[in-house]
Amino acid sequence: MNSVINPATEEVIAEFPMADVAEAEAAIDRSKKAQREWASLSLNERRDGMLAIAAVVDANLEELARLESSDVGKPISDARGEVAMVANCFRYYAGVVDKILGETIPVDGGVDMTFREPMGVVAVISPWNFPLPIASWNIAPALAAGNSVIVKPADITTLSTRRFGELVATLNLPANLVQVICGPGRVVGRVLTSHPGVAKVSFTGSTATGQDVMRSAADTMKRITLELGGKSANVVFADADLDLAIKSAPGAVFGNTGQDCCARSRILVERKAFDDFVSGFVAATESLKIGDPADPETHLGPLVSRDHHSKVSSFITDDAVLAGQAPDGPGFWMAPRVVVDPDLTSRVVTDEIFGPIAAIIPFDSEEEAIRLANDTIYGLSGSIWTTDLGRAFRVARAMESGTLSVNSNSSVRLQTPFGGFKQSGFGRELGLEAINGYTELKNVFINTQA
Ligand code: NAD
């Protein structure tokens, strides 16, 4: 039996049995049949099916948001925004169903064209920090391209994805088109990453598990997309609109209590602006409200679990400045901390913490900023703050990162590709680019000389 714990109260809020190997295998068999049925529907039927998923998410937004908030400890206002994004994600990809284009290629002796064919059964393995949004970023393009989907949410945060699966099952879609299967990653996840009936695995999670997924998928040559960890840099030049950069920076590292793969946890600040930035950043962080996730005014909830709380606690050092006050009593609470000018080899600078701890590091030149920003095994996201347009482009092109923003700390838009360089993974989610990850490219040559 799996017990679901509310991280803000430590109370058990749900219990359900976990799936085993046999159930995962049966789900794969059912999914194959559903895929054939789905791919044979007309384009309009597939589009309308996806619009129906968007509509059922919208109609149940409040319930899904409350489940996500109580399961993850996420502030309810964030959870509402995320569920609204899930519905928009299905609407966006509903519009893509009849725009998956091939090419005609000039060749001698005939006509040559490409087609993007569905892959078959897609397994979506999702993490606990943004359970339903991240699942939807993969489910929606997979469906748009004519695949069926099996989703395995993280063991500790299953509620929103399970409910989503129940809601989709009420719609007039092929049976088992989207199945949600809850079970331990090492058991059920492994079945999905190794079974010959699964064509593609979209994995979002830690780099260590991503490596295991790659190894497990190798025997059957599965297609894989890996969205992994990050240690993103927020690079602030002295010529930036400093007020704006300071106002935006705490949310960019402490949002979701730091449990964000795009967290700008290394803040690089030009020395001329360093002291002003640090004092402004600490003051802005102190104004964040930490507390009951069900309160719409709350900015930061607890960490997701006791285990994760102890992992993040291991990064707390004596020189960390406390910026805020966590509630007493039950719950896995942690107030934000700021480490100023740390040793560049310390864990707080090199490791993905996935909690509310930020390192602020000074630099003296553009070259040094680029070198520091790239001095990591990761390359997921990052920001550049400057009013010099030439510098913005130079630094953006030089940073080894898949998803950058200038004078902004945003990372995710439904319309634009999202994913990492280096050990942050490969493949891209979202935008039209995601469709390439859910289709096989087929080339057909027609001899016109025969
Ligand atoms: P995790 O790697 O522990 O688990 C992710 C998923 O994989 C879960 O569903 C888990 O049950 C499953 N799993 C575990 N072992 C498995 C195995 N051997 N085979 C198959 N599946 C297995 O990650 P997490 O702790 O849930 O999430 C936090 C991590 O996710 C962080 O490193 C974070 O950076 C990363 N993340 C990345 C992105 C991104 O888009 N790049 C987004 C969110 C989170």
pLDDT band, residue 406 (cuts 50/70/90): very high
Is position 416 within any domain? Answer: no
pLDDT at 95 over 90: yes
Which residue carries 């005014």 as its tokens? 297
* Whether the Cβ atoms of residue 135 and residue 164 lie closer than 8 Å to each other: yes
Give catalytic status of residue 227 as yes or no. yes
Pairing verdict, β 104-105 and 148-152 = unpaired
| Burial call 154-171: b when 16+ CB within 10 Å, e when fewer | bbbbbbbbbbbbebbeee
Alpha-carbon dihedral angle through residues 372, 398, 412, 203, given to the nearest 10 degrees: -80
Least confident residue range of 100-114, 128-142, 316-330, 400-414: 316-330
Distance CA(297)–CA(75), nearest Å, equals 8
Look over the chain and give the mean of its residue pLDDT values, rounded to a whole number: 97
Is position 149 within any domain? Answer: yes
Tokens for 243, please give them.
């007020």
Closest by alpha carbon to 139, among 186, 93, 171, 85? 93
Identify whether residues 219 and 332 lie together within a single domain.
Answer: no
Residue 419 Cβ inside 6 Å of ligand 1? The answer reads: no
Helix 242-254 vs helix 271-286: crossing angle, to nearest 10: 60
Is position 331 within any domain? Answer: yes
Distance CA(176)–CA(34), nearest Å, equals 6
Cα of 154 to ligand 1 centre, how many Å? 7
Tokens for 413, please give them.
């838009």
Is position 419 within any domain? Answer: no
Using DSSP's 3-state secondary structure scheme, residue 378 falls into coil
Identify whether residues 108 and 221 lie together within a single domain.
Answer: yes
Question: What amino acid occupies position 133?
Answer: P
Q: Whose CA is nearest to atom 22 of ligand 1?
A: 185
pLDDT at 189 over 90: yes
Is position 386 within any domain? Answer: yes
Is position 172 within any domain? Answer: yes
Q: Mean pLDDT over residues 114-143, rounded?
A: 98
Tokens for 202, please give them.
């979209």
Provide the pLDDT for residue 230.
98
Provide the pLDDT for residue 166.
98
pLDDT band, residue 450 (cuts 50/70/90): confident
Distance CA(404)–CA(411), nearest Å, equals 7
Cα of 171 to ligand 1 centre, how many Å? 29
Residue 157 Cβ inside 6 Å of ligand 1? The answer reads: no
Identify whether residues 275 and 222 lie together within a single domain.
Answer: no
Residue 273 Cβ inside 6 Å of ligand 1? The answer reads: no
Distance CA(366)–CA(241), nearest Å, equals 17
pLDDT at 101 over 90: yes
pLDDT at 116 over 90: yes
Which residue carries 């299905």 as its tokens? 90
Provide the pLDDT for residue 279.
97
Residue 348's CATH number: 3.40.309.10
Cα of 203 to ligand 1 centre, how many Å? 7
Q: Mean pLDDT over residues 97-111, rounded?
A: 98
Provide the pLDDT for residue 397.
98
Residue 154 Cβ inside 6 Å of ligand 1? The answer reads: yes
Q: Mean pLDDT over residues 382-388, rounded?
A: 98
Q: What is the DSSP string of 292-338?
A: -TTSTT-SB---S-HHHHHHHHTT--TTPEE-S----SSS-----EE
Identify whether residues 257 and 218 lie together within a single domain.
Answer: no
Q: Whose CA is nearest to atom 9 of ligand 1?
A: 154
Residue 232 Cβ inside 6 Å of ligand 1? The answer reads: no
Identify whether residues 200 and 178 lie together within a single domain.
Answer: yes
Identify whether residues 288 and 167 lie together within a single domain.
Answer: no
Cα of 209 to ligand 1 centre, how many Å? 6
Provide the pLDDT for residue 1.
82
Cα 243 to its chain centre, rounded Å, is 28
Identify whether residues 203 and 335 lie together within a single domain.
Answer: no
| Burial call 48-65: b when 16+ CB within 10 Å, e when fewer | ebbbbbbebbbebbeebb
Identify whether residues 172 and 310 lie together within a single domain.
Answer: no
Which of 129, 353, 376 maximizes ligand 1 atoms within 8 Å of its Cβ, making it the mutation to test the pocket? 129
Residue 46 Cβ inside 6 Å of ligand 1? The answer reads: no
Is position 411 within any domain? Answer: no
Pairing verdict, β 223-227 and 381-385 = unpaired
Distance CA(217)–CA(226), nearest Å, equals 12
Is position 18 within any domain? Answer: yes
Pairing verdict, β 12-16 and 2-5 = antiparallel
Which of 125, 132, 209, 422 maximizes ligand 1 atoms within 8 Å of its Cβ, making it the mutation to test the pocket? 209
Identify whether residues 110 and 128 lie together within a single domain.
Answer: yes
Question: What amino acid occupies position 209?
Answer: T
Nearest atom (ligand 1) to Cα of 209: 2
Provide the pLDDT for residue 52.
99
Work out how many domains the chain is built from and give that number: 2
Which of 126, 182, 261 maximizes ligand 1 atoms within 8 Å of its Cβ, making it the mutation to test the pocket? 261
- Structural domain harbouring 377: 233-406
Q: Which residues, 6 or more positions from 389, have their beta carbon under 8 angstroms from its beta carbon?
A: none
pLDDT digits (tens, 9 = 90+) for 64-89: 999 999 999 999 999 999 999 999 99
pLDDT digits (tens, 9 = 90+) for 206-237: 999 999 999 999 999 999 999 999 999 999 99
pLDDT band, residue 148 (cuts 50/70/90): very high
pLDDT band, residue 54 (cuts 50/70/90): very high
Residue 379 Cβ inside 6 Å of ligand 1? The answer reads: no
Closest by alpha carbon to 433, among 407, 402, 408? 402
Identify whether residues 158 and 296 lie together within a single domain.
Answer: no
Identify whether residues 156 and 291 lie together within a single domain.
Answer: no
Catalytic residue among 68, 82, 227, 352: 227
Identify whether residues 295 and 179 lie together within a single domain.
Answer: no
Residue 189's CATH number: 3.40.605.10
pLDDT digits (tens, 9 = 90+) for 255-297: 999 999 999 999 999 999 999 999 999 999 999 999 999 999 9
Rounded alpha-carbon distances, angstroms, from residue 73 to 66, 111, 128, 292, 388: 10, 57, 11, 8, 40
Provide the pLDDT for residue 329.
83
Nearest atom (ligand 1) to Cα of 125: 9
| Cα distance between the two ends of the chain | 65
Cα of 158 to ligand 1 centre, how many Å? 13
Cα of 33 to ligand 1 centre, how many Å? 28
Provide the pLDDT for residue 79.
98
